[in-house]
């Protein structure tokens, strides 16, 4: 019978675990070379600087999101979380790296003003009473970024998945966490799925993002507009006409720094409109990303007589244009149709740069569906302890409704058969 993290004891005197789930897993996989006097070493650190050498050794594909500068920025910018960096070594050689974030969930994470009185009461009463703590694998500020790297000559994909899940259990035991969230795992095989299920992991509700395929025949935004059905074309032209008085431009690194306070203010105002926020980056985050990524990270400003009233950020890849965080003046949103024009601008830049996919992330599903985007499921697994089943079911229903209740799939393009 598999152990659960509430059954495990942590020996953190030297940062290693010799008698635990992870050690048992490693002994099972490498029994031919492992002796009691020579266990696999597992180092858990709070600072990325402590594991920089091991990270550089294992990140052989030079994944930017696993680089030391990127993880150092993440460590610096998270406002209400701590990070644990884990290195497994075999005979003194690093063979696996993964990082996890630890959050304490309170009523402050929910925008209670946008909930009914009953929901507000439940959230306050339960969350503040329990002070629920969660361990999350992967980057909470970005979807689908690599959370780990390992030596493929030492671990199979399934073994790496088991090790990563096992480490999460140890961190949860140490932190007295009530939940583990695993996202950005290695590719999940049927065997890995069974392993996670047998150890209490599940996927209680759908997590989705919105993507839009960019037609190869679109060379300008006008080409896209010509492919819209009459109703959606009329709406799009009306929205685009609304920003005629504004100047849209890609901000340079110097300009991003100069407008940093305005960017942070607009972003915070947008975050406060969300029903639930796990965390948000500290001020100056976008300036640091621009300095780090250069042309690979864009900040597009909407200027009104020299004043920044909206912006969006985007990561650019070989085949994709990923609209990241946005911010805009809500009082001017209707006048200039700011949010819809953020979407149109992102699509235009994707078209002009020859990308195949416009990635739009979570939230505002209905607006993105009206653009032509479609939902795509994300893979994740959750395990909870010490929480009554009826409470778990209530929260699952709450989050499911928050994600899915206010939008429907739309097909604005003529070839797809437009629908209202």
**Is the torsion defined by CA of 401, 406, 408, 409 positive or negative?**
negative
pLDDT digits 0-9 by tens, 294-303: 999 999 999 9
| pLDDT confidence of residue 270 | 86
State what percent of residues in the chain have pLDDT above 90: 55
The pLDDT-based confidence of 362 (bands split at 50, 70, 90) is confident
- pTM strictly above 0.85: no
The answer to whether domain 5-201 and domain 208-378+407-416 are alike in fold is yes
Cβ 186 vs Cβ 217: under 8 Å: no
373 vs 350: CA distance, rounded Å: 13
Q: Is the pLDDT of residue 392 over 70?
A: no
| pLDDT confidence of residue 276 | 66
Q: Is the pLDDT of residue 342 over 70?
A: yes
| pLDDT confidence of residue 223 | 97
CATH topology of domain 5-201: Aminopeptidase (3.40.630)
| pLDDT confidence of residue 178 | 85
| pLDDT confidence of residue 138 | 84
| pLDDT confidence of residue 184 | 87
Domain boundaries along the sequence of the chain: 5-201, 208-378+407-416
In this prediction, residues 32-53 reach a mean pLDDT of 76
CATH topology of domain 208-378+407-416: Aminopeptidase (3.40.630)
Helix axes 338-352, 230-242, angle to 10 degrees: 100
159 vs 52: CA distance, rounded Å: 24
Lowest mean pLDDT segment, chosen from 210-214, 274-278, 329-333: 274-278
> Two tokens at 171?
């961190």
pLDDT digits 0-9 by tens, 149-194: 999 999 999 999 999 999 999 999 888 888 898 988 888 899 999 9
């Amino acid at each position: 019978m598999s152990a659960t993290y509430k059954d495990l004891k942590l020996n953190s005197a030297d940062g290693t675990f010799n008698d635990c789930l992870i050690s048992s897993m490693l002994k099972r996989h490498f029994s031919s070379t492992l002796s009691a006097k020579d266990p696999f070493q597992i180092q858990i650190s709070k600072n990325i600087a402590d594991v920089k050498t091991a990270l550089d050794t294992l990140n052989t594909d030079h994944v930017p999101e696993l680089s030391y500068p990127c993880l150092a920025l993440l460590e610096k910018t998270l406002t209400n979380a701590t990070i644990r960096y884990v290195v497994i070594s075999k005979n003194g050689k690093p063979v696996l790296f993964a990082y996890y974030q630890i959050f304490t969930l309170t009523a402050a994470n929910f925008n209670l003003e946008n909930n009914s009185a009953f929901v507000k009461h439940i959230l306050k009463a339960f969350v503040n009473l329990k002070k629920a703590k969660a361990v999350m694998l992967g980057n909470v500020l970005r979807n689908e970024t690599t959370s780990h790297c390992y030596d493929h000559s030492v671990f199979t994909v399934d073994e790496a998945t088991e090790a990563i899940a096992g480490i999460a259990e140890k961190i949860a035991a140490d932190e007295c966490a009530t939940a583990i969230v695993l996202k950005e795992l290695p590719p999940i095989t049927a065997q890995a799925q069974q392993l996670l299920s047998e150890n209490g992991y599940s996927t209680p509700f759908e997590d989705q993002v919105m993507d839009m395929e960019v037609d190869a025949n679109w060379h300008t935004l006008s080409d896209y507009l010509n492919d819209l059905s009459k109703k959606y074309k009329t709406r799009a032209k009306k929205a685009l006409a609304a920003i005629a008085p504004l100047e849209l431009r890609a901000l340079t690194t110097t300009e991003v720094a100069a407008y940093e306070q305005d960017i942070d203010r607009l972003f915070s105002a947008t975050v406060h409109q969300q029903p639930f926020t796990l965390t948000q980056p500290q001020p100056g985050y976008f300036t640091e990303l621009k300095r780090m990524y250069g042309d690979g990270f864009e900040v597009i400003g909407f200027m009104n007589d020299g004043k920044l009233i909206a912006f969006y950020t985007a990561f650019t890849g070989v085949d994709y244009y990923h609209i990241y965080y946005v911010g805009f003046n809500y009082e001017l949103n209707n006048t200039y149709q700011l949010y819809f024009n953020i979407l149109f601008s992102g699509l235009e830049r994707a078209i002009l740069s020859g990308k195949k996919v416009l990635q739009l992330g979570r939230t505002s599903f209905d607006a993105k569906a009206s653009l032509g985007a479609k939902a795509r499921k994300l893979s994740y697994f959750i395990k909870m302890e010490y929480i009554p089943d009826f409470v778990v079911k209530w929260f699952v229903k709450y989050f499911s409704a928050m994600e899915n209740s206010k939008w429907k799939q739309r097909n604005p393009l003529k070839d797809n058969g437009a629908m209202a």
